Structure 1
Amino acid sequence: MEMRMSAAPETTQPPGASRLLISREDLSRAASAGLLDAAQAQALWGFLGGRAQAGPEESRFSFGHTLYYFGGLLAIGAMSLFMTLSWDVLGPWGICILSILYGAGCWAMAETLWRRGFTIPAGLLGALAVFLVPLATWSAQHALGLWSDLPGAVSGARFSQYHQWIDARWLTLEVATLLAGALALWRMRLPFLVMPVALTLWYMSMDLSRWPAGAVDAWDLDHARHVSIVFGLAMCGAAAVLDVIRRRQGTADYAGWLYLFGAFAAWSGITLSDSGSELARLAYALVNAGLVLFGAVIGRRVFTVLGAIGVATYLGYLAFELFEDSLLFPLALTAIGLGLVAIGIWWQRHEAAIHARLRRLVRGGGATAT
């Protein structure tokens, strides 16, 4: 369906046409005729307006998009490797200056592509520019002698450790990255720019568990789990707000990356918090079963996938505990596996109807259309 933002002469479409030109006056006339109320007409216009502004590039996923993402992610990964290998040659100031120049060039290209309507490569290049901020910050800290050495802590001598180890001293890099990401989103409202922000928030949820530096026992993970759960739930809450705005105003999807990293942070923290209580384990299974349905309701498969993994984990635990050293053990595993396959087949056949029904129930419109 195609729309325009101003009134236009009526056109006659041949029978079976798949594209129509719709003006706001058309929706007003439909509301006057009783086909829909004024609020529905306004919501529909906002939804179609958001799709029209998204442009044809974002409405489909093509082989060109695959090349965009593969090339962009390859450049992001290669950047860290190249800069680390160049440390001995260029030194901290050289890496810092090179990172700034590299980031500025990526941002300039992103701006150019964005103005020309190539939103996906623009978002990838903008994200690459944001990803260079922690590298530039880390290099500047080393050059100025601001990186503190702590006994038994991560040396921080290689930037790759930023992605490998939890340490409170990384928080300075993460704060700088969040500020850069916020500025990038303020300048270019592109959904992929949320990815470095969401990833950095996930890193921060782990590094905050070691703040202040050296204050928490590195082998005590309870505090880290609690921080991860709280941070993950907060990220999912922020994503839910963005999701509501998207559904009401027809804006782009800025919530996806926050849902992904937030859900994983909270779910992993809950999964690793095993109290040894059978009641707590049952509650864990019920929470994961709820995640499966919750993901179906809001249309976010990350919750469905994580919930399914959690339920399967609990079922496996039951099988090992109840049927350990028993001839029924392989039968239990077989039954669980075949049961999951059967559920998957049933779900695939009825997924669209289940989604529609659950959304109607959540919105309070349980009555089916006639």
Structure 2
Amino acid sequence: MQFTKKQLEEAAKKNIISPQQAEALQEFFIAQSQDVPRFTFTHVLYYFGGLIAIGAMTLFMNLGWESFGGAGIFSISVLYAAIGLKITKVFSAGDLAIPAGICATFVVCLTPLAIYGLQQWLGVWPDESVYRDYHRYIKWNWLYMELGTLAAGVIIAWKYKYPFLIMPIAVTLWYMSMDITAMISGGDTTWELRKLVSLYTGLLMIGLAFWVDIRSYQKADYAFWIYIFGAAAFWGGLSSQNSDSELSKFIYFCINLLMIGVGVLLVRRVFVVFGALGSCAYLGHLAFDVFEDSWLFPVSLTVIGLGIIFLGVLWQKHEKYITAKSRSLLPVPLRELLQARS
């Protein structure tokens, strides 16, 4: 739970704490949260600058770089990486965790470009595709770049232990799942296959994120980005499945409700957002397709909505008892994780 300066001042006015204690607590909370990403102008500058630099060497890479040839691309990438590591070291020594993490992530994101340049230099690049296609198409020959990125990501994350470093690792795992599928299927990447791969890859990434969460919640939020891309891959694959069965559509709705529940339980908003989108899509299907001419459907939804609000009131009244009782039935690691998130 976070406290604002205004809340601390209100507590001091009611003599719960003294004004001196309120000021000391405010300074303590600021010191504790300086390495936690927040929506402040300083942090916006950090991430905006970092994402521009990362995007320049990944998503926005143009064909002009091909003129440097494999040796030139590799050499420039290594030079950039060396500069990035040096800046990371300087920021880390100055206890500037967020800019240090962003610069370290920049180095990891350079890895596929360096490997691409090295393969071009050695003459082992298998086709006419270029680096900018890495983020656009599914191909088996990206696997060397992805394996190298995972290795670099794990090594740098092990050394510096900044949560933002998990972002390129999570993205690479997602890319790799699709490219391995293309390799196994002999290049056949139909939409049906892509949807299934996305669905099951997302489930695996969510499981990995939960395992990371259990093991590392006391240190930092290393699971955040794995949850993000895992939930996106799972929900995207699930939502793109085709079905003419109303039962299947209802099961889809139930899975989305379950995602909302999991999001609330683990305090992970990404599950709540995707679950809410899926639930609304199902209700829209009922309104415009199944009960298109029924005047009773909006009335029923209104009653259900008000009933949920009433359920929330009951929950608020008995939250402490229900929470304590239900958590006592959970395994100790999960119980400790939920208590830390409270």
The equivalences for 1:234-245 within 5 A come to: 234-245=204-215
CA 1:310–1:89 in 2, change beyond 3 Å: closer, same or farther? Answer: same
2:114 aligned partner, one-letter code: A
**Contact 1:194–1:254 under 8 Å retained in 2:** yes
Unpaired runs of 5+ in structure 1? 2-12, 22-47, 150-154
Q: In the alignment, is residue 188 of structure 1 matched against residue 188 of structure 2?
A: no
* Cα distance in 2 between the residues matched to 1:206 and 1:57: 34
Counterpart position of 1:364: 328
How many angstroms does 1:228 deviate by?
2.1
What is the identity percentage for the equivalent residue pairs of Structure 1 and Structure 2? 37
* Cα distance in 2 between the residues matched to 1:107 and 1:343: 56
Counterpart position of 1:215: 186
**Contact 1:235–1:262 under 8 Å retained in 2:** yes
CA 1:77–1:343 in 2, change beyond 3 Å: closer, same or farther? Answer: farther
* Cα distance in 2 between the residues matched to 1:110 and 1:251: 20
CA 1:142–1:299 in 2, change beyond 3 Å: closer, same or farther? Answer: same
- Alignment partner for residue 270 of structure 1, among 220, 224, 238? 238
CA deviation string 1:190-236 (max 9, x = no partner): 00001110111111122222123x615233x3332332222212211
Secondary structure of residue in 2 paired with 1:161? helix
Secondary structure of residue in 2 paired with 1:57? coil
Counterpart position of 1:91: 69
1:232 aligned partner, one-letter code: G
Q: In the alignment, is residue 111 of structure 1 matched against residue 89 of structure 2?
A: yes
Specify which structure has the higher proportion of helix: 2
> TM-score by structure 1 length?
0.73
**Contact 2:46–2:99 under 8 Å retained in 1:** yes
The equivalences for 1:29-108 within 5 A come to: 56-58=34-36, 61-80=39-58, 83-108=61-86
> TM-score by structure 2 length?
0.79
CA 1:303–1:358 in 2, change beyond 3 Å: closer, same or farther? Answer: farther
1:282 aligned partner, one-letter code: F
2:49 aligned partner, one-letter code: G
**Contact 1:228–1:265 under 8 Å retained in 2:** yes
* Cα distance in 1 between the residues matched to 2:318 and 2:267: 11
How many angstroms does 1:58 deviate by?
2.5
* Cα distance in 2 between the residues matched to 1:364 and 1:356: 12
Q: In the alignment, is residue 121 of structure 1 matched against residue 99 of structure 2?
A: yes
CA deviation string 1:233-258 (max 9, x = no partner): 221112112222344xx211101000
Counterpart position of 1:156: 129
Q: Which moved more, 1:265-274 or 1:116-125?
A: 265-274
CA 1:179–1:315 in 2, change beyond 3 Å: closer, same or farther? Answer: same
**Contact 2:256–2:274 under 8 Å retained in 1:** yes
Counterpart position of 2:108: 130
Q: In the alignment, is residue 202 of structure 1 matched against residue 174 of structure 2?
A: yes
2:186 aligned partner, one-letter code: A
Q: In the alignment, is residue 146 of structure 1 matched against residue 110 of structure 2?
A: no
Q: In the alignment, is residue 173 of structure 1 matched against residue 177 of structure 2?
A: no
* Cα distance in 2 between the residues matched to 1:82 and 1:182: 25
CA 1:15–1:237 in 2, change beyond 3 Å: closer, same or farther? Answer: same
CA deviation string 1:155-184 (max 9, x = no partner): 422x22111111222111111100000001
Secondary structure of residue in 1 paired with 2:282? helix
CA 1:332–1:67 in 2, change beyond 3 Å: closer, same or farther? Answer: farther
Q: How many residues align?
A: 313
2:88 aligned partner, one-letter code: A
Counterpart position of 1:224: 194
CA 1:308–1:353 in 2, change beyond 3 Å: closer, same or farther? Answer: farther
Counterpart position of 1:18: 22
How many angstroms does 1:100 deviate by?
1.1
**Contact 2:63–2:132 under 8 Å retained in 1:** no
CA RMSD across the alignment? 3.6
CA deviation string 1:48-99 (max 9, x = no partner): 9xx9996633375421011000110011112236753432431221111101
CA 1:91–1:244 in 2, change beyond 3 Å: closer, same or farther? Answer: same
* Cα distance in 1 between the residues matched to 2:79 and 2:68: 14
**Contact 2:61–2:132 under 8 Å retained in 1:** no
1:18 aligned partner, one-letter code: A
**Contact 2:58–2:109 under 8 Å retained in 1:** no
* Cα distance in 1 between the residues matched to 2:309 and 2:162: 36
1:244 aligned partner, one-letter code: I
**Contact 2:37–2:43 under 8 Å retained in 1:** no
* Cα distance in 2 between the residues matched to 1:356 and 1:244: 23
Secondary structure of residue in 1 paired with 2:151? helix
**Contact 1:86–1:95 under 8 Å retained in 2:** no
1:255 aligned partner, one-letter code: A
